[in-house]
Structure formats: C-alpha cells, structure tokens
C-alpha cells in the first residue's frame, strides 16, 4: 500500500506545531468544503483527504502512531500485540527455548523494514490463522467539520442542516454554544469495516462577534450613551438587551464610565435551561456640541456658581 503523506495533504512540515496543523486544516477545509463546491467531485475528494489527515495529526497520540506506522497507524496496537505473540510463538517453535538456548528478538525489520501491510495480511488475512481478516472489526474514520454562527444564532436553541462528505445532517444546536466549542456526534463519521462501528463526527463551532454586545463566557457587555443633562440631573434611559429593551433609572450625578449590572440578562448557560449570565452596561456621557451663545452663558454662570 502506498504511503499517504498527511503532512503533504495539509501543506505543512513534519515539524509543524499543533497550532500550525489547526490553522492549515481550517484554511483548506473552508476552501474545499462541499457547501462551497457542491458539484465539484475533486474538491469533495480533497475535503475527505483533508479530514483524514487532520484526524491523524491533530491528536498527539494518533500523530505519533502515524509517524511510526504510516497508513497502518489505526492498527498500531493490534500490530504490537500480534508481533509480541509471534515472537513468543517463535521462541517455543524452534526459534528459541524459554528454558535455555538461543532466542530471537523481533523488530520491524523482521516484517518488511517498516512497511507493515504484508505483516497485517499474514497475521489477520490468511486462512490458517486463528482469526481471519474478515472477522477483524475496525471502527470507521472520524470526520471533522466546522460551522459558523453569529451571536444571535448561538443565543437560542435551533436546528441547522450541515453537509459533511456529501451527506446532509439535521442537527440541534443548544443555546449558549461557545466559540471554539466542539460537539461530538457519535456514529456520524465514516463507515466501519467488517461490521465495525461507524466513526464519529466532531463539529467545531466558530461564533462571530456582535456589533453591540461583547460576550465573555456567559456574561455580556455593552455601552450605553447618556446625555449630559440626564447624567447630571438623573432620569431614565432605554437600554438594549439581547432579547429586548429595558428602562433604567439613572441617579443624579452619574459619572462617565459608571457600570451597572443587569442580572440574568446575559447569555444563556449551555444546556442549563432558564439560566443566564449577567449583562454589564457602561455609561458613556455625551458632551453637547455646537452650543448656542445662550447655552454657553448658562454654563459659564454655573461655572461661576461652582467656584464661589
């Protein structure tokens, strides 16, 4: 079997960091995603190869196995067990004596100099073995996907249809999903082999920024403009929350930068119905411009009174 260079698939060096792998995968996945290339079979094929490469390299343990075993990395544990069993069998059947005499240590060179395909064929695929290849069940390939949401989408539980490897999936997205959060959908990956279970689908959510509200965990932050007169004399102001508007009482003498907390007016807590974070509103006092001469005179009068 020809060696599959996952590093070349993602366009990175073998020394690439995990962050480099993540960036390369996201860039290529966006370029070749089936939603953007609905009728391009070659792009869909490349998208599958990119997912396969990312599955192996994004996980440090899987990456270590891939670096050592190549395209047989998924069967590395079985290889080690089978190699150990064959070595023990050799020791008992003429290759060595457990109670004395010579014995042989088996290395990868005994199985084709690092290409393990023939070894797997002989151990699991021959008719004389205890277990035929057709009886070995392998889990299917795990898939990776990305889904972009705006903050309003993430605020409420809703359904969306996504396309993964040409297959449409209707999924429920819980309110409160976070930027960068990964959700696993069991059994929605590649088909298993020889009756093995399907792989899983891992969806990474990219939640965009909002023009008014800034989100930090379950809390929201926003600015509210106050006119100078309300700030000085007190009064009411109408402020926007994520699910509507509220009236706030403004105390006389409110200073620029004053922050108020609106309890339970923040972002919904993930998978906890009825629980919300807080909304923090910071007052920004607007200084009037283009004053009339009479207004200027009144402000000077106030200034003089304040200085007495």
pLDDT digits over 131-174, tens only? 444 567 888 888 889 999 999 999 999 999 998 888 899 999 99
CB within 8 A of 202, min separation 6: which ones?
142, 143, 144, 145, 182, 183, 184, 185
Q: What DSSP state is assigned to residue 74?
A: G
Q: Which tokens hold the place of 25?
A: 């995968």
> How big, in percent rounded to 5, are the helix, strand and coil portions of the chain?
35, 25, 40
Rounded to 5 degrees, φ, ψ at 200 are -110, 160
- Give the pLDDT confidence of 242-290 residue by residue, as tens digits: 989 999 999 999 999 999 999 999 999 999 989 999 999 999 999 888 8
pLDDT at 129 over 60: no
CB within 8 A of 198, min separation 6: which ones?
139, 140, 187, 188, 189, 190, 191, 192
Q: Which tokens hold the place of 168?
A: 């449409």
Lowest mean pLDDT, pick from 43-57, 108-122, 224-238: 108-122
pLDDT at 112: 39
Cα(183)–Cα(244) distance, rounded to whole angstroms? 30
CB 182 within 8 A of CB 129: no
pLDDT at 20 over 50: yes
Q: Which tokens hold the place of 255?
A: 């200073």
pLDDT at 109 over 50: no
Q: Does the pTM of the predicted model rise above 0.75?
A: no
pLDDT at 101: 40
pLDDT at 89 over 70: no
pLDDT at 128 over 50: no
pLDDT at 114 over 80: no
Beta strands 214-216 and 219-227, pairing class? antiparallel
- Give the pLDDT confidence of 216-254 residue by residue, as tens digits: 999 999 999 999 999 999 999 999 999 899 999 999 999
- Evaluate the CA torsion angle 118, 121, 124, 127 in order and state its sign: negative
Nearest to 274 by CA among 181, 176, 182, 160: 176
C-beta neighbour count of 255 within 10 angstroms: 9
Residues 297, 298, 299, 305: what is their CA dihedral angle, to the nearest 10 degrees? Answer: 110
pLDDT at 97: 41
Q: Which tokens hold the place of 268?
A: 């919904």
More confident residue, 69 or 181: 181
């Amino acid at each position: 079997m020809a060696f599959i260079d996952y590093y070349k698939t993602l366009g990175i060096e073998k020394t690439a960091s995990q962050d480099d792998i993540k960036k390369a995968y996201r860039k290529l996945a966006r370029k070749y995603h089936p939603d953007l290339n609905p009728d391009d079979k070659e792009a869909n094929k490349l998208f599958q190869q990119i997912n396969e490469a990312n599955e192996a390299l994004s996980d440090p343990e899987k990456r270590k196995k891939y670096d050592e075993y190549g395209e047989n990395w998924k069967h590395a544990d079985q290889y080690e067990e089978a190699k150990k069993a064959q070595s023990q069998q050799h020791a008992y059947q003429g290759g060595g004596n457990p109670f004395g005499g010579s014995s042989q240590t088996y290395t990868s060179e005994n199985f084709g100099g690092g290409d393990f395909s023939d070894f797997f064929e002989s151990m699991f695929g021959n008719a004389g073995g205890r277990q035929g290849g057709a009886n070995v069940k392998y889990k299917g390939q795990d898939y990776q996907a990305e889904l972009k949401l705006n903050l309003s989408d993430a605020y409420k539980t809703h359904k969306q249809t996504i396309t993964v490897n040409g297959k449409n999936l209707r999924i429920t997205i819980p309110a409160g999903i976070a930027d960068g959060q990964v959700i696993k959908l069991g059994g929605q990956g590649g088909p298993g082999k020889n009756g093995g279970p399907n792989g899983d689908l891992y969806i990474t959510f990219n939640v965009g920024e909002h023009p008014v509200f800034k989100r930090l965990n379950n809390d929201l932050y926003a600015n509210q403009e106050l006119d100078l007169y309300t700030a000085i004399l007190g009064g009411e102001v109408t402020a926007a929350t994520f699910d509507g508007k509220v009236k706030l009482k403004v105390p006389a003498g409110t200073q620029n930068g004053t922050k108020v907390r609106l309890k339970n007016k923040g972002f919904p807590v993930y998978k906890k119905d009825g629980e919300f974070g807080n909304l923090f509103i910071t007052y920004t006092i607007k200084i009037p411009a283009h004053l009339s001469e009479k207004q200027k005179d009144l402000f000077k009068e106030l200034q003089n009174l304040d200085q007495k």
